[in-house]
């Protein structure tokens, strides 16, 4: 039966300030938009369900342009270390988890961030060993590029003093003993040693993640999670099945190590799943000083970052992607990583419809921006990173380079396509933190950084709707409230355009409609 959603104020996002007060949906699609009187006249003589939106404010359903959906679901079911204020508090959280665990069970904590602790700490494997000599313990830093593990985990992963990892580092004490800290590609040795998750585990993670997305008005995402769970095709199968029960659209990036495994199905897909770029990591993160920089870190001149994937290997990956008529999707945070990514794209140009994805691009330069203008790309920005990365980021890169950090206005002015996402579970899934920081440039400390790079609220919301849909070729299906588009929209009690900018951080979703049906409604407390 058709539905008439009326008595609302729906921002269509077709143009700044464009609104309608009513929408007709027919099944999973938007049939018509306009005034209540016009749509009521259109439905004359037809059966329909009238739904009073009670004056609420509507937007197209949000689309997160870069996250790890299964990882988000996993994090929701693991020990949360993101609120810890000290090293000792983190250990106490894990002590309780060990007490509640089964013998030999892997115990995983998520989200520690030493930059937000009240005091500096020395990571010592003995502290984790004292918690358990039988359970492997894995503590993942918020960026997931650094792990802190105990000796049981190292033993399971066959990591010892002789092991060397290309594209990664293993931490040592001065006396040559392993200290339990692993960087970038070294963490993959731990991931490979962990028991492969079964379909029940993955199904729970997927369902938990999507239901959490609903609470924030998110109805689709670009996700990268094929290489972490042992069977890439099982992940795709579960997306194709489960997303009928919990409606959502996933645009799946293909980690380069899984391309041969899944390439037979890449150009199919359905309403639940589409396929995108071939993913590779060029560098790491600012937090672990593994983002690859042209010049050394300001607070450690001995470090310039970590080359996770060599330029030669990037060429092999890009060439193979082009042979399979696919774009690439490179993780690149530091300016040298961006340069390397651009160089290989220029050598193997993208002639397809879908743009190459340059993920993060957190530190740029005028020269890099100029080169990016000539490429068929979209930049996946994560403006929410700004919220937690300052003020310590300035210590890492210095004031001179900082003016080229987290560029947004510059990229839009230069007509470089961008889309916004969270990179959850690395950061909060809440799109309003990303929108708030895009508009105010304010970090958690309330200070605005690089304020000239602030964009308008309309532009910020656009990055989570039609621009995100366009980043994977769905600009004719999603991201607008428009006839023929998927009936995805989200309702709010407050009008964000009428709020003080500082209050954008607290905007909460009232109801989420996905494929024409309400999938979430906030309960009044």
Q: What is the largest CA-CA distance in the chain?
A: 84
Mean pLDDT, residues 166-191:
93
- Distance CA(98)–CA(136), nearest Å, equals 10
Tell me what pLDDT residue 300 has. Answer: 94
For residue 60, give the H/E element and its range: strand 57-60
Mean pLDDT, residues 135-154:
94
Q: Looking at the structure, do residues 130 and 35 belong to the same domain, yes or no?
A: no
Q: In what order do the strands lie in the sheet with 79-80?
A: 79-80, 107-112, 137-141, 146-149, 178-184, 168-172
Mean pLDDT, residues 260-284:
90
Is 378 among the domain residues?
Answer: no
Tell me what pLDDT residue 173 has. Answer: 93
Mean pLDDT, residues 301-321:
97
Question: Over 90: is that where the pLDDT of 101 sits?
Answer: no
Residue 325: partners with Cβ closer than 8 Å, 6 or more residues away: 267, 352
Q: Looking at the structure, do residues 56 and 83 belong to the same domain, yes or no?
A: no
- Distance CA(290)–CA(281), nearest Å, equals 11
Is 517 among the domain residues?
Answer: yes
Q: Looking at the structure, do residues 32 and 94 belong to the same domain, yes or no?
A: no
Is 237 among the domain residues?
Answer: no
- pLDDT tens digits for 195-207? 888 898 899 999 9
Is 336 among the domain residues?
Answer: no
Tell me what pLDDT residue 384 has. Answer: 96
In total, the chain counts a number of residues equal to: 525
CA-to-CA separations, 201 to 13, 71, 196, 262, 424, in angstroms, rounded: 38, 12, 10, 21, 19
The DSSP annotation for 206-256 comes to HHHHHHHHHTTTEEEEEE--SSSSS-HHHHHHHHHHHHHHTT-EEEEEEEG
Task: Write b or e for each residue in 293-303: b if 16 or more Cβ atoms lie within 10 A of its Cβ, otherwise e.
Answer: bbeebbeeeee
Question: Over 70: is that where the pLDDT of 525 sits?
Answer: no
Mean pLDDT, residues 111-117:
91
Tell me what pLDDT residue 269 has. Answer: 67
Percentage of residues in the chain having pLDDT higher than 70: 99
Average pLDDT of the chain?
Answer: 95
Q: Residue 172: how many CB atoms within 10 A of its CB?
A: 13
Q: Looking at the structure, do residues 9 and 119 belong to the same domain, yes or no?
A: no
Q: Looking at the structure, do residues 14 and 50 belong to the same domain, yes or no?
A: yes
- Distance CA(266)–CA(327), nearest Å, equals 12
**pLDDT bucket at 433, cuts 50 / 70 / 90:** very high
- Distance CA(277)–CA(252), nearest Å, equals 8
Mean pLDDT, residues 142-147:
89
Tell me what pLDDT residue 230 has. Answer: 84
| Structure-model confidence comparison of residues 267 and 334, the more confident one | 334
The DSSP annotation for 129-190 comes to HHH-SSS-EEEEETTSSEEEE-HHHHHHTT--TT---TTEEEEE-TTS-EEEEEEETTHHHH
* Total domains, the chain: 2
| Structure-model confidence comparison of residues 269 and 198, the more confident one | 198
Is 143 among the domain residues?
Answer: yes
Is 286 among the domain residues?
Answer: no
Tell me what pLDDT residue 382 has. Answer: 97
Pure H helices in 299-430: 311-323, 335-347, 366-372, 385-389, 392-402, 409-413
Percentage of residues in the chain having pLDDT higher than 90: 88
SS3 26: strand
Cis bond leading into 312, ω under 30°?
Answer: no
Q: What tokens does 424 get?
A: 């959850």
Could you identify the residue written with the tokens 């905007």? 507
- Distance CA(127)–CA(302), nearest Å, equals 28
Q: Looking at the structure, do residues 35 and 109 belong to the same domain, yes or no?
A: no
Which of 388, 338, 384, 336 lies closest to 358, judged by CA?
Answer: 338
Q: Looking at the structure, do residues 122 and 183 belong to the same domain, yes or no?
A: yes
Structural domain span for residue 185: 70-193
- pLDDT tens digits for 64-84? 999 999 999 988 878 899 889
- Boundary-marking domain end, from 159, 193, 227: 193
Q: Looking at the structure, do residues 18 and 111 belong to the same domain, yes or no?
A: no
Is 230 among the domain residues?
Answer: no
- Distance CA(147)–CA(142), nearest Å, equals 9
Q: Looking at the structure, do residues 17 and 86 belong to the same domain, yes or no?
A: no
Question: Over 70: is that where the pLDDT of 95 sits?
Answer: yes
- pLDDT tens digits for 213-233? 999 999 999 999 999 888 999
Tell me what pLDDT residue 196 has. Answer: 82
- pLDDT tens digits for 325-372? 999 999 999 999 999 999 999 999 999 999 999 999 999 999 999 999
Strand partners of residue 58: 10, 491
**pLDDT bucket at 312, cuts 50 / 70 / 90:** very high
Question: Over 90: is that where the pLDDT of 102 sits?
Answer: no
Question: Over 90: is that where the pLDDT of 172 sits?
Answer: yes
- Distance CA(516)–CA(48), nearest Å, equals 13
Is 348 among the domain residues?
Answer: no
Tell me what pLDDT residue 484 has. Answer: 98
Which of 494, 475, 497 lies closest to 486, judged by CA?
Answer: 475
- Distance CA(391)–CA(371), nearest Å, equals 29
SS3 512: strand
């Amino acid at each position: 039966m058709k539905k008439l959603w009326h008595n609302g104020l729906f921002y269509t996002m077709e143009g700044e300030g464009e609104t309608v007060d009513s929408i007709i949906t027919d099944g999973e699609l938007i049939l018509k938009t306009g005034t209540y009187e016009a749509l009521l006249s259109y439905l004359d003589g037809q059966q329909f369900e009238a739904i009073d939106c009670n004056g609420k404010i509507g937007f197209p359903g949000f689309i997160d342009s870069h996250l790890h959906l299964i990882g988000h679901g996993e994090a929701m079911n693991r020990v949360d270390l993101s609120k810890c204020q000290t090293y000792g508090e983190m250990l106490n959280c894990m002590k309780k988890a060990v007490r509640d665990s089964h013998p030999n069970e892997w115990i995983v904590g998520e989200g520690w961030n030493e930059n937000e602790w009240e005091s500096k700490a020395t990571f010592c494997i003995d502290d984790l060993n004292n918690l358990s000599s039988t359970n492997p313990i894995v503590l993942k830093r918020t960026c997931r590029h650094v792990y802190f593990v105990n000796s049981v985990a190292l033993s399971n992963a066959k990591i010892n003093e002789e092991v060397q990892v290309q594209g990664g580092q293993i931490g040592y004490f001065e006396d040559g003993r392993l200290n339990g800290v692993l960087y970038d590609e070294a963490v993959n040795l731990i991931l490979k040693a962990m028991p492969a998750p079964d379909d029940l585990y993955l199904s729970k993670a997927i369902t938990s993640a999507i239901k959490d997305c609903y609470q924030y008005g998110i109805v689709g995402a670009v996700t990268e999670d094929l290489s972490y769970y042992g069977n890439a095709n099982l992940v795709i199968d579960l997306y194709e099945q489960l997303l009928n029960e919990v409606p959502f659209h996933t645009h799946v990036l293909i980690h380069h190590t899984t391309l041969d495994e899944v390439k037979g199905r890449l150009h199919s897909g359905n309403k639940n799943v589409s396929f995108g770029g071939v993913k590779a990591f060029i560098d790491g993160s600012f937090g672990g000083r593994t983002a690859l920089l042209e010049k050394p870190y300001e607070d450690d001149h001995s470090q310039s970052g970590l080359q996770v994937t060599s330029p030669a290997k990037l060429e092999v990956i890009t060439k193979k992607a082009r042979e399979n008529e696919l774009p690439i999707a490179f993780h690149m945070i530091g300016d040298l990583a961006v340069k390397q990514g651009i160089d290989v794209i220029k050598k193997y140009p993208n002639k397809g419809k879908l743009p190459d994805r340059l993920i993060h691009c957190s530190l740029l330069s005028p020269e890099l921006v100029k080169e990016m203008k000539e490429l068929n790309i979209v930049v996946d920005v994560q403006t929410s990173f700004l919220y937690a990365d300052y003020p310590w980021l300035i210590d890492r890169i210095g004031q001179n380079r900082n003016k080229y950090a987290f560029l947004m206005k510059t990229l839009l002015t230069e007509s470089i396509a961008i889309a916004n996402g969270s990179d959850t579970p690395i950061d909060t899934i809440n799109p309003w933190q990303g929108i708030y920081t895009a508009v105010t440039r304010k970090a958690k400390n309330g200070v605005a950084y690089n304020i000239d790079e602030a964009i308008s609220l309309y532009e910020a919301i656009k990055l989570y709707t039609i621009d995100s849909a366009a980043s994977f070729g769905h600009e004719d299906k999603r991201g607008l409230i428009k006839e023929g588009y998927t009936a995805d929209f989200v309702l709010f009690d407050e009008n964000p355009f009428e709020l003080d900018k500082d209050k954008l951080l607290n905007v909460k979703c009232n109801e989420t409609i996905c494929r024409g049906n309400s999938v979430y409604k906030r309960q009044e407390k």
